[in-house]
Amino acid sequence: MTKQAVIIGAGPAGLTAAYELLRTTSIHPLILESDTQVGGLSRTVNFSGNRMDIGGHRFFTKDSRVQALWDSLMPRASAPALDDRLLHRSCTLDPQGVDPEETDRVFLDRQRVSRILYRHRFFDYPVSLNRTTIRNLGIPAMAGIGCSYLYSCFHKRPENTLEDFMINRFGEKLYRTFFAGYTEKVWGLSPKNLSADWGSQRIKGISIGAVLKDLFQRTFHIQPKEVQTSLIERFLYPKFGPGQFYETLRDEVLRLGGEIRMGATVTGFTDGGDKTLSAVQYRDREGNLQQVPADFVLSTMPVKDLAAGLPQDWLSPQARETAAALPYRDFVTAGLLVDRLELKNETDHPTLNHMVPDCWIYVQEPDVKLGRLQIFNNWSPYLVRDPLHTLWIGLEYFCQEEDDLWSMTDSDFISFAAKELETIHVIRPGAVQEGHVVRMKKAYPAYYGSYGDFPRLRQELDTIPNLYCMGRNGQHRYNNMDHSMLSAMTAVDLIRQGKTDKTALWQVNTEQEYQEMETQEGQSHEK
């Protein structure tokens, strides 16, 4: 009799797991997805022909298996995209690929430009020590930053908090200028109240030394043997956004015989004896309770919800308390259609209508709640219904479900977001033609509160032999897309090999080398 793997969630990890099971085993994958759309946090939302990438997702990976999967499902462009063609911009093309003007299923080669907006001025992201930075901050401020950094080189703090982590790498003055306020926007807490683990997951490889090295190599045209991920300048991107790739992967799963049930919200699990799961219970889109047998359970659902659904006596009271208290940050994106931005393009990157060239802008203005600003035209001109005459932008806010921001009506939120852009002189009053709001629960697993006790909870979850936790929420880890997909591949490897030891699964996105560096031989992309 064919064995069945029940996969919870149709995001990057869930779809990858189903595909790998179909490709390498005889196990039947059944995906249960609570939403009406695949892609999870990496979906693309279509509003009146304008597409929103929720969070901004670069396709970049150092893992050859992940890259091979991407390449197998979506060819690269053999001809320039619309904006590159009109502006005669150089880009990397694949002679064996397809023309994006003629074919929709295609990866575009895109220029990465991300900057910081602070005091109504642009700064490089990551922060660079160049003439622009010096001019914007002034010589006295730069001298103070330099002295502060030198002090941090010889007086290292014990890294108990994220604040300690950042000051050790940037110096206190640069940390106060560019990192403290923005980090508090994202997490709702001061970095002094956040675990240093966040830094080890996201910014371990970035330092003043790294920035100086990169600046020196650029100045003297030296080709680096290794490039830090955050400094990489080009990436792959699906013509219609990341959701297009996951819709393609969904279609491939279905073609190979996999099954996906949408609108299926998992509510609990059945004890099969010997602490083994034998079935998954869910509520279907009509509200009816259903149950499906499971030889294996691959979960991308939030650990908090997973633990609540397990048989009561399978986890200790301490582990259950840890799971129930795990913190998350929720996420709201407001898509606004405007005719122009009031920001001038003073870079050497040519753009349509002279708009700024940024994919996203980190907004570190203290007088607005806005965290990041995406310009969808620059991700792909095909995300925008009329890219020659309009700009489609995404305003990103970090919040909690109970916050006032989360509770606003869509119309009030659009008005609020537009007013914030007016406040920091990004748009003029009355510039917004239309807008759309998307809310994402549990978008960012957080590293504070009960997270310090997570290792004990993980150990207890790992005693369930046929349960495999994967993906960002499934592992409560700030994974990029490629990390999530790699965790799914690793889970399938363990199932195929008959292994119940989950150590390899939890090692994804922990190795310093994996996070920080990419060689010329193995290029990589992240969210």
Beta bridge partner(s), residue 438: 333
Residues 195/447, Cβ–Cβ less than 8 Å: yes
Contacts of 389 (CB under 8 A, 6+ apart): 339, 353
> Do 34 and 63 fall into the same domain?
no
Q: pLDDT tens-digit profile of 239-248? A: 999 999 999 9
Average pLDDT over residues 359-374: 95
Pick the closest to residue 471 from 482, 460, 457 (CA basis).
Answer: 482
Query: Which tokens hold the place of 490?
Result: 């690793």
> 522 pLDDT exceeds 90?
no
> Do 390 and 336 fall into the same domain?
yes
Contacts 24+ apart (CB under 8 A), 505-513: 505/468, 505/469, 505/470, 505/475, 506/458, 506/475, 508/475, 508/479, 508/483, 509/201, 509/477, 509/479, 509/480, 509/483, 512/204, 512/205
Query: Which tokens hold the place of 414?
Result: 């659009």
Residues 293/151, Cβ–Cβ less than 8 Å: no
Quick one: pLDDT at residue 523?
Answer: 32
> Do 220 and 296 fall into the same domain?
no
> Do 317 and 458 fall into the same domain?
yes
Quick one: pLDDT at residue 353?
Answer: 87
Q: How many CB atoms lie within 10 A of CB 185?
A: 20
The verdict on residue 518 lying in a domain is no
The verdict on residue 348 lying in a domain is yes
> 526 pLDDT exceeds 80?
no
Question: What is the spatial distance between Cα 380 and Cα 256, in angstroms, rounded to a whole number?
Answer: 30
Mean pLDDT, the chain, rounded, equals 90
Residue 142: give the domain boundaries.
Answer: 125-225
**In the Cβ-directed half-sphere of 369, how many Cα atoms lie within 13 Å?**
18
Question: What is the spatial distance between Cα 392 and Cα 336, in angstroms, rounded to a whole number?
Answer: 6
Quick one: pLDDT at residue 525?
Answer: 34
Residue with the two structure tokens 């509160």 = 449
> Do 494 and 431 fall into the same domain?
no
> Do 429 and 456 fall into the same domain?
no
Considering the entire predicted model, what is its pTM? 0.90
> 229 pLDDT exceeds 60?
no
Average pLDDT over residues 29-51: 97
> 8 pLDDT exceeds 50?
yes
Question: What is the spatial distance between Cα 67 and Cα 15, in angstroms, rounded to a whole number?
Answer: 15
Among 176-190, 281-295, 300-314, name the one with the lowest average pLDDT: 176-190
For 250-352, strand residue ranges (E) read 259-262, 265-271, 277-283, 289-293, 296-299, 328-338
Quick one: pLDDT at residue 202?
Answer: 55
CA distances from 164 to 144, 147, 180, 228 (A): 19, 17, 11, 22
CATH number at residue 467: 3.50.50.60
> Do 335 and 318 fall into the same domain?
no
Determine the 3-state secondary structure of 123 from DSSP: strand
Fill in the DSSP letter of residue 220: T
Q: Among 445, 468, 490, identify where a domain stops.
A: 445
> Do 89 and 12 fall into the same domain?
no
CATH number at residue 382: 3.90.660.20
Question: What is the spatial distance between Cα 280 and Cα 363, in angstroms, rounded to a whole number?
Answer: 43
Q: Among 177, 206, 240, identify where a domain stops.
A: 240
> Do 218 and 189 fall into the same domain?
yes
Q: pLDDT tens-digit profile of 212-228? A: 444 444 444 445 555 44
Pick the closest to residue 489 from 18, 1, 3, 8 (CA basis).
Answer: 18
Q: Among 225, 256, 277, identify where a domain stops.
A: 225
Residues in the chain: 527
> 520 pLDDT exceeds 90?
no
Helices assigned H by DSSP within 363-511: 376-379, 404-407, 410-423, 454-461, 471-474, 481-496, 503-506
The verdict on residue 472 lying in a domain is yes
Quick one: pLDDT at residue 146?
Answer: 86
The verdict on residue 524 lying in a domain is no
Fill in the DSSP letter of residue 469: E
The verdict on residue 390 lying in a domain is yes
Q: pLDDT tens-digit profile of 142-153? A: 889 889 989 999
Q: What is the DSSP string of 135-199?
A: HHH-HHHHHHHHHHHHHHHHSPPP-SBHHHHHHHHH-HHHIIIIIHHHHHHHHSS-GGGSBTHHH
Average pLDDT over residues 505-518: 62
Average pLDDT over residues 36-41: 96
Determine the 3-state secondary structure of 208 from DSSP: helix
> 513 pLDDT exceeds 50?
no
Quick one: pLDDT at residue 521?
Answer: 30
The verdict on residue 119 lying in a domain is no
> Do 319 and 461 fall into the same domain?
yes
> Do 249 and 185 fall into the same domain?
no
Number of domains the chain is built from: 4
Quick one: pLDDT at residue 75?
Answer: 98
Q: How many CB atoms lie within 10 A of CB 172?
A: 19
The verdict on residue 49 lying in a domain is no
Q: pLDDT tens-digit profile of 411-423? A: 999 999 999 999 9
Quick one: pLDDT at residue 127?
Answer: 73
The verdict on residue 50 lying in a domain is no
> Do 210 and 353 fall into the same domain?
no
Q: pLDDT tens-digit profile of 99-125? A: 999 999 999 999 999 999 999 999 988
Q: pLDDT tens-digit profile of 461-511? A: 999 999 999 999 999 998 999 999 999 999 999 999 999 999 999 999 875
* pLDDT classification of 88: cutoffs 50, 70, 90: very high
* pLDDT classification of 208: cutoffs 50, 70, 90: low
Contacts of 515 (CB under 8 A, 6+ apart): 200, 201, 204, 205, 229, 509
> 199 pLDDT exceeds 80?
no
